[in-house]
Each structure stands twice: as structure tokens, then as C-alpha cells.
């Protein structure tokens, strides 16, 4: 019954993804914990956090697709929201270490003792509470996106100008977080986490739970994004991508729509970051690097922009490929990665999902043609007109 409801609301492929994600969330941890290592279906312990990491990346790509694919805002700074979410979670995990740090200081994290800080800076207050950290995971990226977007959209900064200032944003944050004086551990970032909510981070069961949480969160955020894009608001958003001025002339408050999507997207990115940190065990300013944000754009494009499904597959594929190639061909893997990006742009302009739909349509058209015994042109898919850079 639930599936029927899902189907009617979200369509076939989206429902399939949600169900698949939920299934993975249960099956993979089970296969890890319950099956003995000899079993061919056993999922090795080291693989689970790795896949969990991919799922977090997928969530980040999903967040980007909401603004890029549906509002035409190409953010080159989404990594910043991801990292901020990660830092919020990292600060909680840091406070959880308590007196088990190397200097055994009950309050101050090791790096502060190390640099002779005398007391905890004010912005670290409250992070010993999980609920507070969770709140911050949403609020910090959300507030930053809101303020940034409020100014930018109101001033009608669009196109590449917007892209470049989002890049400036993440670059400025990168430099700021590198500073040891900021109180976030400088280049070393936050690391050496012990436990989350009292469960050891090194335990297989905690990892399985984190993986399941990532899969479920991805399913939920996907459902949320899907619901939004299917709603009336979603229609307006899509209209924005095609002709922003016309939407404005019709009477919609374009900047409000954009602001909503941008803020929501930043919050999703924050959640992704928060789930990412306990699974990889470190958060450092490198996550703010503009190159990372560009990579997110690439996952989205590889999978298929403006499809919500595509970015998820794109993130999984590119990162899986990266993991494989960096070990299998450590000397030349960048060639492969570079070639992949070029090939995708040239031959798969709508990404992998676009290719699949195209094939499906062609197949359907051929079937229809054979059936009706007459020539019909394949239905033209409404082209998403990418934001012009002038």
C-alpha cells in the first residue's frame, strides 16, 4: 500500500530508488553484522563506511541539483555548506572525547591545549549536547545560505557572477578555517574522534548504524526534493531556469523562490556533511577547497542535471571510480578521470540518466512505430535551457 502511494506520488523510478535505498539501509548492515566473513554475500567492515561516504556525497550532489538543476543557480561553493555541517558534527564529536584526549583535559580539545588556549571559545559552547549539534548542522549552513542568498538574489546577481562569488565564499572560508587563531584546529582540523552518543565509532555496529542513517537520510531528502519539484513551487522553480524575467513579470517573487531552494539545499548539504564526518573520522579545511565544490558539480553533471536521480548515481559512480582507480592505477588515474569528464560532456549532455531516458524513449518510439505501422518522430524532450553565461 505504501509502495502504491509512493508510486502515485513520485513516479516509478523515484519510488524504486527510495525503496532501494531503504533496502540497502537494512540489508548491507545486516550482511556485515550477521553473515560470517566466509559468506560470499558478506559486506566487509571496511567497505561500509566507504559506501556510507559515497551516500553522503550523493546527498550533497542531490542538494546541488535542487538549486542547479531546478533553479539555475550554479553554486561553486556547495562544499562550504557540507563542510560547515561537518564541522558542527565534528565539534560535537570533539567534545565527546572529554578527558580521553592525549593531554587528558576534561574540557579543551587537544589542539587547544597544544596551542596554550586557556578556555573554551564561546562558539564551542553547547556542542557537548547532541541535539544542539544537530540543530547547528542545519542552522549554520542554512543561515549562511540565507544571508548570502538574500543579498545575492535581491541584487539579481545571476549566472557566472553568482557562481564565482559562491566560489569566493568557499575560498574565503577555506582560508579562514586554515587559520589556527580561528579555534577550529587549523589545517589539522578536527580528528581522533572516539564515540557518538556513547557508541564507539570503531565498533562495527556503530558504523552499520551510521551507514543505515546515511541511506535513510538520503532516501528522505530525496523524497523531500522530489516532492518539492513536483509541487507548484517546483514548477515555478523550473520556469525560473528557462526564463527568469518572464517568471518575474508574471508576478512571482523570484528571489523568494530561489532563496527557499538555496537555503534548503544548504541544509541538506549540512546534513550530508554531518553524516560524513563520523564515517571518515576527520574534518579539515580541505573540504572547503573550491576544487571539491567543482567536483560536486561534476558528479551532478555526470549523473544528469535536473533529474534528482542522476546526481545520486553520478556521485556514486565517480567516487567509486576514484576509489578504484587511485589504487589500481595510482600513476595515471587522473587521465581516466579527466577523460571521463570530457566524454560525459561531449557525448552525454544530459548525463547517465539522460542517456537512459533517451534510450527508453527511442525504444518506446520504435515499439510504437512498429505497432502502429507508421512513422512517428521521437517525442522531443523539453530541453532544459542552461543558464546563459552571456
Partner 1 sequence: MLNPKKFLKAASLSAMLATTLVSGSASAEETIKVGILHSLSGTMAISETTLKDAMLMLIEDQNAKGGLLGKKLEPVVVDPASDWPLFAEKAKELLAVHKVDAVFGNWTSVSRKSVLPVFEELNGILFYPVQYEGEESQRNVFYTGAAPNQQAIPAVDYLLENEEVERWVLAGTDYVYPRTTNKILAAYLKAKGVADEDIMINYTPFGHSDWQTIVSDIKAFGSAGKKTAVVSTINGDANVPFYKELGNQGISAEDIPVVAFSVGEEELAGLDTEPLVGHLAAWNYFQSVETEANYEFIAKWKDFTKDINRVTNDPMEAHYIGFNMWVKAVEKAGSTEVDSVIDALVGVSVPNLSGGYSTMMPNHHITKPVLIGEIQADGQFEIVDQTDGLVAGDAWSDYLPDSAKLISDWRAPLSCGNYNVETKSCGGDS
Partner 2 sequence: MYSKLLQLVASALLVVVALSFQSAHAEPAPQQLVNALATGKLKQKPAQIEALAATKNPAIIPVLQALIEGELFYLKNDGQVVIAPQSGPMIDAATGKPLSGLNKSSLKKIKANNKVRRIARAAIAKLTLQSPVLAERQAAVEALFKAAKPESLSLLLEAQKNETDPQLQTRLAQAIALISLQDKAATAKAQQAAIAQLRSLGGQQALALLQAFTARDDIAPQEKEAATRAVEAIEKSMALWGIGQNVWYGLSLGSVLLLAAIGLAITFGVMGIINMAHGEMVMLGAYTTFVVQEVIRSSFPGVFEYSLAIALPLAFLVAGSVGFAMERGIIRFLYGRPLETLLATWGVSLVLQQAVRSIFGPTNKQVGNPEWMSGAYELGGLMLTANRLWILAFALLVFALLLVVLRRTRFGLQMRAVTQNRRMAASMGIRTPWVDAFTFALGSGIAGIAGVALSQIANVSPNLGQTYIIDSFMVVVFGGVGNLWGTLVGAMTLGVANKFLEPYAGAVLAKILTLVFIILFIQKRPRGLFAQKGRAVEA
Cell numbers given for 384:
532544459
**Residue position matching grid coordinates 543579498:** 151
- For residues 281 to 300, the per-residue mask of contacts with partner 2, x marking binding by CB under 8 A and - elsewhere, is ---------xx--x--xx--
Q: Kindly state the smallest distance separating residue 390's Cβ from partner 2, in Å.
A: 6
Q: Which is nearer to partner 2, 26 or 334 (CB)?
A: 334
Q: Does 377 bind partner 2 (CB under 8 A)?
A: no
Question: What is the residue whose three cell numbers read 567534545?
Answer: 95
Q: How far is the CB of 225 from partner 2 (least distance, A)?
A: 20
What SS3 class is residue 282?
strand
Tell me 129's DSSP state. Answer: S
Return the residue of 10, 17, 58, 229 that touches partner 1, per CB under 8 A: 17
Shorter beta-carbon distance to partner 2: residue 107 or 332: 332
- Interface residue with partner 2 among 15, 96, 167, 357 (CB under 8 A) is 167
Closest to 85 measured CA to CA, from 175, 21, 181, 173: 173
Cell of 201: 565509532
Element (H, E) at 196: strand 195-196
Considering only residues 355 through 384, tell me which ones interact with partner 1, judged by CB under 8 A. none
Q: Which of 32, 158, 191, 307 binds partner 2 (CB under 8 A)?
A: 158
Residue 139 CA, chain-centre distance (Å), reads: 17
Question: Does 1 engage in binding with partner 2 (CB under 8 A)?
Answer: no
Question: How many whole angstroms separate alpha carbon 21 and alpha carbon 15?
Answer: 10
Among 231, 345, 360, 376, binds partner 2 (CB under 8 A): 345
The H or E element spanning position 87 is: helix 78-97
Q: Are 269 and 78 in contact (CB under 8 A)?
A: yes
Residue 335: name its binding partner from partner 1, partner 2, none (Cβ under 5 to 8 Å by kind). Answer: partner 2
- Contact with partner 1 (CB under 8 A) among 9, 34, 35, 44: 44
Whether the Cβ atoms of residue 127 and residue 92 lie closer than 8 Å to each other: yes
Query: Residue 329, interface with partner 2 (CB under 8 A)?
Result: no
Q: Give the shortest CB-295-to-partner 2 separation in angstroms.
A: 9
Closer CB to partner 2, 158 or 214, in the complex: 158
Under the criterion CB under 8 A, does residue 249 sit at the interface with partner 1? Answer: no
- From the list 295, 294, 270, the residue with the least C-alpha distance to 283 is 270
What is the Cα–Cα distance from 215 to 212, expressed in whole angstroms? 5
Tell me the helices (H) and strands (E) count for the chain, helix number first. Answer: 15, 4
Task: State which residue, 160 or 369, has the beta carbon closest to partner 2.
Answer: 160
| Shortest distance in whole angstroms from residue 319 CB to partner 2 | 15
Regarding 363 and contact with partner 2 (CB under 8 A), the answer is: no
Q: How deeply is 90 buried, as exposed, middle or buried, from its count of CB atoms within 10 A (0-12, 13-18, 19+)?
A: buried
297 contacts which partner out of partner 1, partner 2, none, CB within 5 to 8 A by kind?
partner 2
Distance (Å, rounded) from C-alpha 113 to C-alpha 101? 10
Residue 195, beta-bridge partner list? 200
Q: Contacts from 354-361 at CB under 8 Å and sequence distance 24+?
A: 354/304, 354/307, 354/310, 355/304, 357/381
Query: Could you give the CA distance from residue 214 to residue 53 in angstroms, rounded to a whole number?
Result: 8
147 near partner 2, rule: CB under 8 A: no
Stretch that binds partner 1, among 76-84, 112-120, 230-238, 300-308 (CB under 8 A): 112-120
Binding partner 1 by CB under 8 A: which of 9, 154, 156, 179? 179
Under the binding rule (CB under 8 A), the answer on residue 139 touching partner 2 is: no
Binding partner selected for residue 339 from partner 2, partner 1, none, CB under the kind-specific 5 to 8 Å limit: partner 2
The contact set with partner 1 (CB under 8 A) reads 3-4, 7, 12-13, 15-17, 19-20, 24, 43-47, 49-51, 53, 99-105, 111, 113-116, 175, 178-180, 186-189, 191-194, 201-202, 280-282, 284, 286, 313, 316-317, 320, 323-324, 326-328, 330-331, 333-334
Amino acid at each position: 500500500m505504501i509502495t502504491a502511494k509512493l508510486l502515485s506520488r513520485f513516479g516509478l523510478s523515484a519510488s524504486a530508488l527510495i525503496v532501494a535505498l531503504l533496502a540497502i539501509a537494512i540489508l548491507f548492515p545486516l550482511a556485515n553484522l550477521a553473515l560470517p566473513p566466509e559468506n560470499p554475500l558478506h559486506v566487509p567492515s571496511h567497505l561500509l563506511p566507504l559506501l556510507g561516504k559515497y551516500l553522503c556525497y550523493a546527498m550533497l550532489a542531490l542538494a546541488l541539483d535542487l538549486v542547479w538543476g531546478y533553479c539555475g543557480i550554479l553554486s561553486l561553493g556547495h562544499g562550504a555548506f557540507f563542510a560547515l555541517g561537518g564541522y558542527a558534527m565534528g565539534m560535537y564529536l570533539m567534545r565527546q572525547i572529554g578527558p580521553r584526549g592525549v593531554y587528558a583535559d576534561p574540557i579543551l580539545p587537544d589542539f587547544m591545549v597544544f596551542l596554550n588556549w586557556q578556555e573554551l571559545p564561546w562558539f564551542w559552547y553547547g556542542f557537548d549536547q547532541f541535539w544542539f549539534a544537530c540543530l547547528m548542522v542545519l542552522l549554520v549552513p542554512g543561515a549562511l545560505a540565507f544571508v548570502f542568498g538574500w543579498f545575492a538574489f535581491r541584487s539579481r546577481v545571476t549566472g557566472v557572477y553568482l557562481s564565482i562569488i559562491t566560489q569566493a565564499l568557499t575560498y574565503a572560508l577555506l582560508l579562514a578555517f586554515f587559520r589556527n587563531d580561528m579555534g577550529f584546529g587549523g589545517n589539522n582540523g578536527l580528528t581522533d574522534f572516539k564515540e557518538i552518543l556513547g557508541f564507539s565509532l570503531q565498533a562495527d555496529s556503530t558504523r552499520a548504524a551510521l551507514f543505515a542513517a546515511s541511506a535513510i537520510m538520503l532516501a528522505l531528502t530525496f523524497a523531500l526534493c522530489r516532492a518539492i519539484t513536483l509541487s507548484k513551487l517546483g514548477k515555478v522553480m523550473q520556469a525560473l531556469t528557462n526564463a527568469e524575467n518572464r517568471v518575474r513579470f508574471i508576478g512571482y517573487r523570484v528571489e523568494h523562490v530561489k532563496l527557499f531552494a538555496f537555503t534548503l539545499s544548504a541544509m541538506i548539504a549540512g546534513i550530508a556533511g554531518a553524516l560524513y564526518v563520523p564515517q571518515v573520522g576527520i574534518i579539515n579545511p580541505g573540504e572547503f577547497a573550491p576544487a571539491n565544490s567543482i567536483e560536486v558539480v561534476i558528479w551532478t553533471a555526470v549523473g544528469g542535471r535536473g533529474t534528482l536521480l542522476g546526481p545520486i548515481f553520478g556521485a556514486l559512480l565517480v567516487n567509486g571510480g576514484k576509489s578504484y582507480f587511485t589504487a589500481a592505477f595510482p600513476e595515471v588515474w587522473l587521465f581516466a578521470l579527466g577523460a571521463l569528464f570530457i566524454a560525459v560532456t561531449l557525448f552525454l549532455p544530459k548525463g547517465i540518466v539522460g542517456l537512459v531516458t533517451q534510450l527508453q524513449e527511442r525504444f518506446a518510439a520504435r515499439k510504437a512505430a512498429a505497432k502502429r505501422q507508421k512513422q512517428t518522430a521521437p517525442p522531443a524532450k523539453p530541453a532544459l535551457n542552461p543558464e546563459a553565461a552571456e
